[in-house]
Amino acid sequence: MAYRLYYWPGLPGRGEFVRMALEAAEIPYSEPARDDGVEALLSDMEKREEGGGFAPFAPPYLVDGDVAVAQVAHILTWLADRHGLGGDDPQTDLGLIQLQLTITDIVAEVHNVHHPVGSGAYYADQKDEAKRTAAQFREDRIPKFLGHFERAAALNDGPFVLGGKWTHVDSSLALLIDGLHYMFPRRMAAVKSDYPKLYALRDAFVDLPAIAAYRASDRCQGFNEDGIFRHYPELDAA
């Protein structure tokens, strides 16, 4: 039975981290909310919440038969285990999971840039705070996180973290780089040359035939201002 990926329709969002790995590995999946509308997600979540098991707190979550797994990093390491998208030994897998969780951290900070006061409030009502948060994120957090990921990308001979084989960390790093470029085009253009290994990793990943085909398909949604990576020009600067 093919996996079912549950996520909000109409935005790439955190669901895209899961799609990237599924698409690159050519693992079949369906998306009920994309095909049948948001009600398919809401009713499934409600059913799980009332069902007495370990219900997902929020999408994305991936379903295979009776098993449903939420949390992007958890989903990806589950897929890695089942489909060989990790390393060849436990120590390497621990390192990859650590990196994936660090990607979870920066994604949370990215969301916090445009919603520094609260997720429940409109961006328009927290623009001043967002400007202050964005300045700090651009100046301090982007170099700190990307410097860390650059060192990971340089661990082997490239282009990927483990060398020639891509893993769930590479698919997430490639999406992270593209998302940050969409959100902060001026800042990312200014710092790009500081991270040659990371950009080589990103380029090698998007050049994978399965990812090139995905990006050319109508399954691939562009970034937009409903997702995690949002382009608000007033939050960007070199």
Q: Please, which residue, 59 or 95, has the CB nearer to ligand GSH?
A: 59
Enumerate residues 6+ apart whose C-beta is below 8 A from 93: 77, 80, 86, 87
- Residue 72 interacting with ligand GSH (CB under 6 A): yes
For residues 225, 227, 231, 232, the Cα torsion angle rounded to the nearest 10 degrees is 60
213: number of Cβ within 10 Å: 13
Q: Please, which residue, 38 or 213, has the CB nearer to ligand GSH?
A: 38
Token pair of 77, please? 């390491």
Minimum gap (Å) between residue 106 Cβ and ligand GSH: 11
Q: Find, among 151, 154, 143, 155, the residue nearest to 106 by Cα.
A: 143
Minimum gap (Å) between residue 238 Cβ and ligand GSH: 28
- Residue 167 interacting with ligand GSH (CB under 6 A): no
- Residue 104 interacting with ligand GSH (CB under 6 A): yes
Interaction mask 12-41, ligand GSH, x per CB under 6 A: -xx---------------------------
Minimum gap (Å) between residue 146 Cβ and ligand GSH: 19
122: number of Cβ within 10 Å: 10
